[in-house]
Chains A and B, each alone.
Chain A
Amino acid sequence: MSRETLRLVASPLLASLALAACSAPEPPAGEFPPVSHDAAVAEDASARDASASAELVPDGTWLVWNETSTCVKVLSTELESVTETLLLAKLESSPGGVVRVTSRACLIEQTPIVGVATSMPLALVETIPSTSYVALLGGTAPGSAYTTQRVIELWGLRLTEPEIEPLPKDASDPRVYDQDHDGNPGVTLVLGDGQCSMYVVQRAIAEWSGAVESATRIAGTGSNLTRQVVLGATGGFCSSQYQTRNPPGSARFALERIDGLHGALDLDTNHDGELDCAEVRAYGTAAFGPRAPDNARCVAGGD
């Protein structure tokens, strides 16, 4: 091999070695300045720890308060409606932190949209089937984690695969039944001051996670996904199938012990030894600090 040939083949190799001599270049500094957060939460946590020292005993009767958010598209604008739900729940604990929760709905209230509220008659609320699910309790001391599995609630329909089965779109679908016994398919919701009624089926899936706050209270946040299908209506805007969605991270919950044990409230106001939905409704939602609707929560994010 001649010297010229060697030079010919070696030149690009040397050039490439020079190019590759450096590893990756210095990484960019980025567009994000350092930030600091105030210590309010740490203060809150320490205050909580000081005020709550007793340990929680799950077994007993509790009141469950759920607050969820729904964004409804009206004339190309999304408006928020906040739903407050009160449920009466029995908690039974098992070894390993497993808690079985059996609950039934007592009250559902929804904030109005453009001045029109959707009311959930008691005939509807009291016929919602009771729900059983499992929660995991990381401990009994304040601060211990509390997490539920996905809680599925069906209105006016029976599904073989409650979580994934497509919802019926027609009242004649055999999975639809007259839950509130008013002669109409599914359940009947009343809009406004009796302006019109709509017959719907609904699937709500929620997950909750929080922490033990005291011996008588567990609280936290959650995510929920509710899908509703209008099967029929008496007319007017009840016939419309509005687009809805549940903004992420907007749901809250609290469990309050209400059977008078372990320092808890006793809501058995008629002293019959049983807690019922009437007593829960009389207690109401105000103690949980429900929030007002905020349409800013319905502003979509992301690319």
Chain B
Amino acid sequence: MRPHSRHAAWLTAALSLWQAPALADEFGAFGAGARAAAMSGAGAALLDDSYAIYANPSGMAFGRPGLSVGFSGAVNRLTIRLAERPAGYDLPDLGASSPAVPSRYRLHPRGAESRAPGVSGFTVGATISAGVDWLRLGVLTFIPTTGIGNQNSFYSDEREQYFSNSIPQAIYGERLSTQQILLGSSVRPVRWLSIGAGLRFAIETKTHNDVFVPSQANNSVQYIDVRTENGVDTAPVLSAATRLLDDRLRASFTWRGELQQSLRGGNTVQINGFQGTPQYPFTQPMNLVSEHLPHQLALSAAWTQGAVSAAVDATWSQWSRYRDDIDQLAGFHDTVAVSTGLEAQLAPGSFVRGGVGYRPSPTPEQTGRTNYADNSTWIFGLGLGQAVTVAGMRLDLAAFGQLQAAVPRTHTKRARSNPPDCTDGITALCDELPDDTRNPATGKPMPEAAGLQTGNPGFPGWSSGGFILAAGVQISWRY
């Protein structure tokens, strides 16, 4: 490569920091593309098509340009089973004297079991060379069939009793159905080395609404001005890949920055009757995080011997900075996930692939106030690839099946002789009715307030387990 070409390569890599990927949790969960998914997420160092944009953008510069379309779906059978509530811990019903909304008025009964929703969607990816052999630009998208821009939130503690009254999956539930748009570029300054760079970005919504309630007697009537702005949160991605020993040894290193999809802002509320008081108007702040992708460092190495390639990948994820749906630090710990995969060419253009991986859960045991549901997971993949020629064009067909088996887990709330009241900063299972609560009508102590009263959906304990079964097909054209 001539010196000025090399400079151009570095410049292109630097400029590409201002492009590149968006949300990637679907790809992070199952692997990007049928090849990686069949190998349980392993083989980032082998990827050289548009699906490399997620796992190893630098890999694109080793491959031919091409176009790829796929469809994948997952049946989510991750299940949470709630232990039966013992008698005597409900919020009491004392009619108008009830100091808190009695348990029997919950909009949704606390079910014995809850399940996470499935996910399905289309992937479309492409890479181009722009006529330059050492340069690749690429795009990869995942479009969930459930819609684009979905934002869901849950409380992780006793407050969820007023809404779903259940325990959702903290990571592999609704959050899987997030659209992804990944842009990336890579350059190969020398034959054995490639570098890639880009940006991930997520939807960042800011909202400020002005609300006026004209009558206390009928709060269902409100006048509202809505102000919503959609922007993007961005995170850098950097990667490097090498191929040595006549391309038999391949390795890659990728750093993905932290990314959040969020909704922040609030309401300013005026209520007729409050004028002339400090509460006219009052504000209702809102901080929701519907997706949090942690900093990740991913290492991949692959060895090709004849018709067989073997790969091993390790990914460190900084879950300790994880913000939950209401923007609170969740207390997770960092993890290292490992996956291995094999790819064998049975005949020219005909491949079989398989892999095994293990993804540890970042969530600690939930003995206190919160109910973050997540399991360590074994990942088993299997897939086939077949090249066909149609109208003179070579097309690569691929299919995969993947099973993610959750390691069963139980959580038991820790009993305390004197449970603390539910206030900010309390992490233990807490009492929603302080023991010294007095009956507002009589002024006398309230026997029902003695001891623990809680509507926490996770009380007195729960278990989680199950599996996710995913499958997909893909067609690619390389030119």
Interface 0/1 of A28-50, CB less than 8 Å to B: 11111111111111101100100
B430 CB, nearest partner CB in chain A, Å: 7
**Minimum C-beta distance from B295 to chain A (A):** 28
Digit string of B457-468 for contact with A (CB within 8 Å is 1, else 0)? Answer: 001111111110
Task: Known contacts A32-B413, A211-B440; decide if A302 and B430 are in contact (CB<8 Å).
Answer: yes
Per-residue 0/1 for B384-426: is the Cβ within 8 Å of any A Cβ (1 yes, 0 no)? 0000000000000000010101101111111100111101011
Q: Report the tally of A-B residue pairs with Cβ distances under 8 A.
A: 226
Contacts of B94 in A (CB 8 A): 41-42, 45
CB atoms of A96 and B215 under 8 A apart = yes
A170: Cβ under 8 A from any B Cβ:
no
Stretch at the interface among B79-87, B122-130, B471-479: B79-87
B90 smallest CB distance to A (angstroms): 10
Known contacts: A249-B434, A301-B421. The answer to whether A219 contacts B88 by CB under 8 A is no
Count of B interface residues, CB-CB < 8 Å:
84
Question: How far apart sit A48 and B94, CA to CA, in the bound complex (Å)?
Answer: 13
In whole angstroms, how far apart are the Cα atoms of A15 and B405 in the complex? 10
Please tell me if the beta carbons of B380 and A12 are within 8 angstroms of each other in the complex: yes
B447: interface (CB < 8 Å): yes
Distance between Cα atoms of A76 and B462 in the complex (Å)? 40
Measured between alpha carbons, how far is A277 from B309 in the docked complex, in Å? 92
Among the 9-residue stretches A143-151, A176-184, A234-242, A261-269, the one with 4 or more Cβ atoms under 8 Å from chain B is A143-151
Q: Which residues of B contact A37 (CB under 8 A)?
A: 88, 92, 447-448, 450
Determine whether the beta carbon of B277 is less than 8 Å from that of A219.
no
Docked-complex contact A1 and B346, CB < 8 angstroms: yes
A283: interface (CB < 8 Å) = no
| CB of B99 closer than 8 Å to a CB of A | yes
Chain A residues, CB < 8 A from B427: 302-303
Q: How far is the CA of A36 from the CA of B448 in the complex (A)?
A: 9
Min Cβ gap B358→A in Å is 12
Residues of A within 8 A of B443 (CB): 219, 252, 254, 289
Are A143 and B216 in touch, CB under 8 angstroms?
Answer: no
Interface locus among A19-27, A107-115, A117-125, A193-201: A19-27
Contact A34–B352 (Cβ < 8 Å): no
The A229-286 residues at the B interface (CB cut-off 8 A) are 248-250, 252, 254
Q: Does B315 contact A (CB under 8 A)?
A: no
Can you list 11 A-B contacts with CB-CB less than 8 angstroms, sorted by A residue number? Answer: A16-B467, A19-B378, A22-B408, A24-B81, A28-B460, A29-B461, A35-B87, A41-B97, A249-B434, A301-B418, A301-B426
Interface of A toward B, CB cutoff 8 Å: 1, 5, 8-10, 12-13, 15-17, 19-20, 22-42, 44-45, 48, 94-98, 100, 132-134, 136, 138-139, 142-146, 149-150, 152, 162-163, 209-213, 219-221, 248-250, 252, 254, 289, 297, 301-303
- Given contacts A35-B87, A143-B95, A149-B277, list 19 more A-B pairs with CB under 8 A: A1-B346, A1-B352, A12-B380, A25-B81, A29-B83, A31-B412, A31-B460, A33-B86, A34-B87, A36-B88, A42-B94, A45-B95, A96-B273, A97-B217, A143-B96, A146-B440, A149-B274, A220-B441, A303-B428
